[in-house]
Amino acid sequence: MTGIIARKAARAGHLSLARGRALNALTQEMCEALSMTLAEWRRDDSVEAVILDHAGDRGFCAGGDVAAVRRSVVEGDGTEGRAFFLAEYRLNHLLFAYPKPVVTFMDGVTMGGGVGISLPAAFRVATENTLFAMPEGAIGLFPDAGAGYTFARLPNRLGQFLALTGARLDGAECLWAGLATHYLDSAALDEAKTRIAAQPERTEAILSELSTTPPPARLAGNAENIARHFASDRLEDILASLAADDGKWAGKELAAVSAKCPTTSKVALRLLAEGARREDFAEEMAREYAIVCRMIVRPDFAEGVRSVLVDKDNAPRWNPARPEDVSEAMLDAIFASLPEAERWTPAVS
């Protein structure tokens, strides 16, 4: 399997991302391989838990291979790009609905698609190396891979803050925010995996026994600011609130939000508002798939990936460039359901 190492260890299945040169960015082949193995292990009574981590020392997962998605749109009709998201979202749903405990070790870079395969897991381990973010707004996409559901359930508008700013959180902040369930020193990870494989029924107890007290979560000091400034589901209101605050923090976050694609930001706010009311994760994935199929063919996506990953000038030219020019009619078209034959469906096991 390209980019995946799958093996059994005692009473657990162990999956490691192994595409280190690309910071383990997910490809369609990797997503399908992970889903296939998880489906096999779901029926295998000898596998009582699943460990999901990365090989090497370059971080857990930097996201999806968006450069390949861009090529599929710029050089073709986007078929390969849609196929990637179909496979990725099926993997996200499979992890969310998995009947056996899944333990994800978010050691190092955990961004985009890496977040998507982390948050559905029952146990999510952060370390002093964790670097967590959903930076899709910088490339003309939106926080996807289930973030419309998981971010919507974070308290005090934290999900909206993360979606609009692309803020990078460390392990302590992930634990404070509820994005991680446990915080371990990276030196204890091998012991944790060995003990979980030997006694999967004690997974939660083992992680608790090996947990350490993290440093103070820096983000906690701005919790009140986040709740106040990101209270609205209107992008214009959030920008105005930040602009009216002459504090250093508000100025920094105003710059971060203003730099992101306006259409992406409005899509994110509507998606999280919907996601807070959505009870079915499969319904969430179907909704996100319809949105992503439209977002990847918009000029903003090709332009965003160009600015960040191709030319690396970090000077995207968004269209529309102003939030007030992103109309409700434009958003309605992006959020419209796909024709029945094109809709996302869960993987058939």
* pLDDT of 67 higher than 90: no
Mean pLDDT value of segment 284-298: 96
Q: What is the pLDDT of residue 209?
A: 98
Q: Per-residue DSSP letters for 202-214?
A: GHHHHHHHH--PP
Strand order in the sheet with 109-111: 109-111, 131-133, 169-170
Q: How far apart are CA 124 and CA 122, in angstroms?
A: 7
Has 113 been annotated as catalytic? Answer: yes
Q: Is 233 a catalytic residue?
A: no
pLDDT band at 61 (very low <50, low <70, confident <90, very high): very high
Q: What residue spans define the domains of the chain?
A: 4-342
- Residues 114-137 have a mean pLDDT of 97
- Which candidate in 65, 136, 284, 300 is catalytic? 136
Q: For the domain bounded by 4-342, which CATH number is listed?
A: 3.90.226.10
Give the residue-averaged pLDDT of 224-239: 98
The confidence band for 349, taking pLDDT boundaries of 50, 70 and 90, is low
**pLDDT of 309:** 87
User: Distances in Å between the alpha carbon of 32 and those of 86, 105, 175, 264, 332?
Assistant: 10, 20, 30, 27, 31
pTM as predicted: 0.95
From 144, 253, 288, 303, the catalytic residue: 144
Q: Which pLDDT score, from 0 to 100, does residue 57 have? A: 83
304 is a catalytic site residue:
no
Average pLDDT over residues 305-324: 94
Q: Which of 59, 81, 112, 113 is catalytic?
A: 113
The full DSSP string for 211-264 is --PPPP-GGGGGHHHHHHHT--S-HHHHHHHHHT--SHHHHHHHHHHHHS-HHH
Torsion sign (Cα): 55, 58, 61, 63? negative
User: Over 60: is that where the pLDDT of 26 sits?
Assistant: yes
The active-site residue, picked from 64, 81, 171, 304, is: 64
pLDDT of res. 56? 85
pLDDT tens across 246-266, in order? Answer: 999 999 999 999 999 999 999
Examine the residue annotation and report whether 64 is marked as an active-site residue of this protein: yes
Sheet harboring 12-17: ordered strands across? 4-9, 12-17, 49-54, 102-106, 123-126, 182-183
Average pLDDT over residues 333-347: 95
